[in-house]
């Protein structure tokens, strides 16, 4: 396993991050335990979850599964860099969501209880909250850090200017501020290259791409569909993407065959080659999917292959950061 620093911090995380969103809704608890054990065997030490995962309001089903896994002992908690999130709806009452100080503090305590741990390594804001001032957010986060309940703070689904706002407010408090940003980023969705990536690199914020296979579309979906193995291809968004992008996906899978690389690992390998990317999130439903994803670490892409991928999946505008991407 390869490791890198999380943003500008001294914290070392694996180049692949284990996403746990399937644990509970699609993967049974015993199978989830087995996947997490296998991840540690592979050297994956970076696990990502959220208080809303499990998708039953207020229950935090996925966090509970991880907590029971930690409870088995064997050094599991010490080996894991644990990331969870706050923002989503955890109550029918108005203060059970968002980034108010009240919700941040209460949600952190609830996550700690479900996860059966004393601290969260990386506490991420799941979305920007335009109704809460940064002074309030950082007051709550700094309280959690002072209490030892949170070690680092990250964001998710922020724009570049939100990162700048957040860091400016944190600096006023002499607070470390954001160390990571979790964004949707893959060959089919490259908007973050305009401003999020440049801002993150400027501030030393590590990028953690979610949906690196764009809902399975980059996993060799056409080949799987032809073989009757593409479960996700039958789901709404995936089917729509397939129909819209079929010629491109056909050419992409042909390129992967020419390179003798699994299409999913080609997509992950491309992300691993991007400047500023810390670790793409992989969300295996089975141990076999987890094992297969490790092949991405061996993918080496030369300039010719990168150029072909840019032809198939053009960056937004002229490519690179704004304003050059859309203006002289």
Which residue pairs, CB below 8 angstroms and at least 24 apart, start in 318-323?
A: 319/193, 320/193, 321/193, 321/194, 321/195, 321/197, 321/198, 322/194, 322/195
pLDDT tens, position by position, 67-117: 999 999 999 999 999 999 999 999 999 999 999 999 999 999 999 999 999
**3-216+263-300 CATH choice from 3.20.20.100, 3.40.50.10420, 3.30.70.870, 3.40.50.1970:** 3.20.20.100
Which residue matches tokens 């199978």? 31
pLDDT at 147: 98
pLDDT exceeds cutoff 80 at 237 = no
pLDDT exceeds cutoff 60 at 233 = no
pLDDT tens, position by position, 139-173: 999 999 999 999 999 999 999 999 999 999 999 99
pLDDT at 102: 98
pLDDT exceeds cutoff 60 at 230 = yes
Distance CA 126, CA 281 (A): 15
Which residue matches tokens 């061996």? 298
Return the structure tokens found at 98.
């968002």
312 contacts 47 by C-beta, under 8 angstroms: no
Which residue matches tokens 């992300």? 271
pLDDT at 173: 96
Which residue matches tokens 């979790």? 182
Residue 180 belongs to what H/E stretch?
A: strand 178-184
43 contacts 1 by C-beta, under 8 angstroms: yes
Q: What's the mean pLDDT in 216-229?
A: 88
Known catalytic residue at 53: yes
Starting at the edge strand found earlier in the chain, the sheet holding 46-48 runs 206-210, 178-184, 150-156, 120-125, 81-86, 46-48, 17-19, 281-282
pLDDT at 234: 55
Distance CA 204, CA 178 (A): 9
Cβ within 8 Å of residue 62, ≥6 positions away: 20, 21, 23, 24, 49, 50, 53, 54
pLDDT exceeds cutoff 90 at 280 = yes
pLDDT at 156: 98
Average pLDDT, the chain: 95
pLDDT exceeds cutoff 80 at 293 = yes
Helices (H), the chain: 29-42, 61-70, 76-79, 101-115, 134-146, 160-172, 196-203, 221-227, 236-259, 263-272, 287-293, 303-312
pLDDT at 192: 98
pLDDT at 235: 60
Q: What's the mean pLDDT in 132-140?
A: 98
pLDDT exceeds cutoff 80 at 281 = yes
Distance CA 24, CA 90 (A): 17
| Rg value, the chain, Cα | 20
Percent of the chain topping pLDDT 70: 98
Q: Name the pLDDT band for 32 (thresholds 50, 70, 90).
A: very high
Among 53, 87, 152, 185, the active-site one is 53
pLDDT exceeds cutoff 70 at 231 = no
The whole-model pTM stands at 0.94
């Amino acid at each position: 396993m390869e490791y890198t620093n999380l943003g500008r911090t001294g914290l070392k995380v694996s180049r692949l991050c284990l996403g746990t969103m399937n644990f509970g809704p699609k993967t049974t608890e015993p199978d989830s335990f087995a996947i997490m054990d296998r991840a540690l065997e592979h050297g994956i030490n970076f696990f990502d979850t959220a208080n809303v995962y499990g998708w039953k309001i207020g229950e935090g089903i996925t966090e509970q599964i991880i907590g029971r896994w930690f409870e088995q002992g064997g050094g599991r908690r010490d080996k894991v860099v644990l990331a969870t999130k706050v923002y989503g709806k955890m109550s029918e009452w108005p203060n059970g969501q968002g980034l108010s100080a009240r919700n941040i503090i209460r949600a952190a305590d609830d996550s700690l209880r479900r996860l059966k741990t004393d601290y969260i390594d990386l506490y991420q804001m799941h979305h920007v909250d335009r109704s809460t001032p940064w002074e309030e957010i950082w007051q709550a986060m700094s309280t959690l850090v002072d209490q030892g309940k949170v070690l680092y703070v990250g964001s998710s689904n922020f724009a570049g200017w939100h990162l700048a706002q957040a860091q400016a407010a944190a600096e006023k408090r002499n607070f470390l501020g954001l160390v990571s940003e979790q964004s949707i980023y893959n060959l089919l969705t490259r908007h973050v290259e305009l401003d999020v990536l440049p801002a993150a690199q400027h501030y030393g914020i590590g990028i953690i791409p979610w949906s690196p296979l764009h809902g399975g579309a980059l996993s060799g979906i056409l080949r799987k569909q032809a073989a009757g193995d593409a479960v996700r291809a039958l789901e709404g968004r995936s089917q729509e993407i397939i129909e819209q992008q079929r010629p491109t996906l056909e050419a992409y899978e042909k390129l992967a065959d020419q390179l003798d690389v699994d299409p999913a690992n080609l997509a992950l390998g491309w992300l691993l080659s991007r400047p500023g990317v810390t670790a793409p999130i992989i969300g295996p439903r089975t141990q076999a999917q987890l094992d297969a994803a490790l092949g991405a670490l061996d993918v080496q892409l030369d300039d010719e292959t990168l150029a072909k991928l840019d032809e198939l999946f053009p960056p937004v505008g002229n490519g690179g950061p704004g304003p050059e991407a859309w203006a002289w």
